[in-house]
Amino acid sequence: MDSVADASDLIIGIGDNKARKMLAERAASRGARFTTALHPSAQVGIGVEIGQGTVVMANAVINTGSRTGIHVIINTAATVDHDCEIGDFVHLSPGVHLAGNVKVGQGAHIGIGACVIPGVRIGEWAVVGAGATVIDNVAPRSTVVGTPAKPVKREGAPQ
């Protein structure tokens, strides 16, 4: 495929954040146009900004004043409370709950059923394990698990 300029608007529905980023950049360089997809049962509050290429799945909720970057996945029944900022290429797995004013850095992946308390920062390309309860900031490129969430590894660091 040399050009996608004549194609319909696209969404890249790949759950792997790095792969989604690579494919989005490749498609954009070939003239792709991206759209958003909101499931009919999703609830989006007043003043919410949703970036191009973003998918909001069934029963997801994004509350007032929140903002997503581009190519974000907000999966089934995930909730994003007021004034959250979700970076580009983030994946919020099913049942994730972000309290108000949470900031999620580019490429982060928050696992199924994880909860994040108000005002916490999740660093770029960080991973939050399934079912984790995040009560402290998460460093970029680190992985946290458990309740309360604790670091288990950091990219490039010894394990």
pLDDT in tens, 7-59: 568 899 898 999 999 999 999 999 999 999 999 999 999 999 999 999 999 99
Residues acting as catalytic residues: 82
Phi/psi class of residue 65: alpha, beta or left (left: φ > 0; alpha: ψ in -120 to 50)? left
Superfamily of domain 36-151: Hexapeptide repeat proteins (2.160.10.10)
Q: Please classify residue 89 by burial: count the beta carbons closer than 10 Å to its beta carbon, then call 0-12 exposed, 13-18 middle and 19+ buried.
A: buried
Residue 108 to residues 31, 41, 61, 73, 124: CA-CA distances in angstroms? 26, 25, 19, 11, 6
**84-108 pLDDT, tens per residue?**
999 999 999 999 999 999 999 999 9
pTM for this structure? 0.91
